[in-house]
Each structure stands twice: as C-alpha cells, then as structure tokens.
Amino acid sequence: MSTSTEAITPIYYDTDLGIDDAMALAYLLASPKVDLVGIGTVSGNCSAAAAARNTLDFLGVAGRADIPVAVGAHDPMVGAFDGGSPEVHGDNGIGDIELPAASAEAVAGDAADMVIELAHTHPGRLTVLAVGPFTNLAIALEREPELPQLVADVVVMGGAACAPGNVTPVAEANIWHDPEAADAVFTAPWTVTMVGLDVTMAHRFSLDDQQALTQSGRPAAQAISAMLDTYMSFYTPIFGEPCVALHDPLAAAIAAGDIDTVCAPTVGIRVDVTDGPGRGRTICDMRGRYRGYPAPEGARHRVVLEIAEPFAPRLREAILSV
C-alpha cells in the first residue's frame, strides 16, 4: 500500500453476511484506503452465527484470516430473529454455495464489545459501517454511552427516504428487522450517513458484471459470482431484467471515502417503531427538497440520494483485485 497512514481509515464492519455483504467485504479488502480492523455479525439476512461462518470462510478464500470476527446479536431488541431472508440470500445467507471451511474461529466477546474496544483503540478515527440490522450498535450504545464521541463516522446501509421500502411498502429490510435498534442509532448524538434504497436501487450489477467475476479465475470473485445466481433470481422480477442492486457495497465505498455525492442533504431522521403499517420506516424530513435542502435546525444526519458516477464499474474492478 502506497497510501500514507493518515489517509487510511480504520473500519469496523457490522454485517449479516449476506450476498451483497460479501461484495461489500470484498470492496473493503480491496481498498488501499481501508484498514478493516474488525467485523461483527448480526442476524438479518441469516443468523448472526451463520453470518460469522460465512464471513470467516470468505476471509479464508480471500487470504485474510487475520481479520478478527465477533459473533453479535442473534435476536433484535424486541422479539425474536425471524429466520432471515432465504428468498433473497439463500438458506445459508450466501446463495447456498459452499465455501471452503476456514480454520479460523470467531474471537471471544460479542460484536458490541468489539466495536467499543475498537473505538477506544482508535479514538476519533474509527468509522463504523453497518450493513445489517443495527442491533449490535444499539447494544454498544447502551454499554458505552461515550461511543458517539469516540467514533469518527457512522455509515449505514438501510432505510428509504423517498423510495419505496423492500419488505413493506415503506420499510427497508435492515430497519424492518430491528426498528428499535435503528431508532437508538438515529437518536444517539452522532452523525449517521444513511445509504438507503433511494440511491442503492439505482446502482446495479448486470449479467456481464457477474460473468467477468466468473471468468477472472480469482477465488473470491468466483465465489461472489456463484452467490449472485440466487440474488439475481430475486431481483430480476423486481427490475424486469437480470441485475442486482448494490446496497451494501455502495455503503462500503462511501465509508471508505471513495464516492463523490451529488445530493446528500442533512436532514432529521426518525424511525417508526409503532405496530402500524409504517413500522420500520425511516422518516426523513425531506421537506426542504424544493429549495435545495437547507439543513433544518437541529438536523445532523446525512442521507445519500445521488452519487456522481456509476458505481458498478468501480465495484467490479475492486472485487477482481481481491
């Protein structure tokens, strides 16, 4: 790596890995600007335990067994884990492909402990990147109320400001799986960059991208390509053509500082934690849209609506380099 230490961002990655989570992990591994200092897992696309297994195995394929992985929360703050999203990510979370079993095991302690410890190890420098339900972050905020002052940035994949939801008409999956945790994260005194469906549904991998991974001869890229069959089957009827949305990888690239945003206003964000039809919705105050989104009094979160360039080519290149 030729980048100077100053420009390298230590990132804690919180994931329910997950097909697009694996793509995001590959992006982080590929980035010379990222020091992936720890990974915590959470139930969402699959169970926290399965996500840890998938993560360890994928790190093994990528030759990065050195990165510590901690198992996180199995259940959301309220209620119990609902079994995941096999229709999107397969029964095992990675499209029912079998990765070579890694010998590495998860570290002692849970994911919430890991993010707290990393925040203390890298005070004022750590970026927290969460691409699953925010349960581990909510627990960490309870255990360490100073966490918001310790971390530098929080980037999440989740929610929908004006775009439709993907579980209910208004709820996105990561928020839907633990609305109470999401509410805690958006209420905590830090600034969250929300990378939601407004922008992630607009950036997609095509069959051509998938084929390029297959043909690369590189194990990590080929593993992702194999996973993508399941993901593609889910998204094809949604988009009306064979392609997949790049949710988690885009959040990873934004956390890495690689993306120029064209429209990412500062807005207030609340989470609907009622039991009504709006449950799990991120209620973003977008009322400033008609005059260029002046930041409302007291608002501090940032919601990414548009980025400067197509993201798929950058992601493809990154995955091919792992």
**Active site (annotated) includes residue 16:** yes
Question: SS3 of 128, please?
Answer: strand
For residues 203 and 72, give the distance between their C-alpha atoms in angstroms, rounded to a whole number: 29
Give the N- to C-terminal CA distance of the chain in Å, as an integer. Answer: 14
For residues 161 and 104, give the distance between their C-alpha atoms in angstroms, rounded to a whole number: 39
Query: Which candidate, 319, 287, 293, 320, places its Cα nearest to that of 306?
Result: 293
Min. distance of Cβ 200 from a second copy in angstroms? 12
Min. distance of Cβ 149 from a second copy in angstroms? 27
| Choice between 28 and 304, CB closer to a second copy | 304
Min. distance of Cβ 61 from a second copy in angstroms? 32
| Choice between 35 and 209, CB closer to a second copy | 209
∠ CA 102-214-97, nearest 5°, is 40
Chain contacts with a second copy (rule: CB under 8 A) = 162-166, 169-170, 201, 237-240, 268, 270, 272-278, 281, 283-287, 289-292
Of 89, 122, 177, 247, which is the active-site residue? 247
Question: SS3 of 181, please?
Answer: helix
269 contacts 283 by C-beta, under 8 angstroms:
yes
| Choice between 129 and 197, CB closer to a second copy | 197
| Choice between 218 and 270, CB closer to a second copy | 270
- Beta strands 243-245 and 204-206 are antiparallel
Distance of CA 265 to the CA centre of its chain: 20
**Active site (annotated) includes residue 247:** yes
For residues 30 and 318, give the distance between their C-alpha atoms in angstroms, rounded to a whole number: 6
Of 14, 16, 35, 113, which is the active-site residue? 16
Name the residues annotated as catalytic.
16, 247
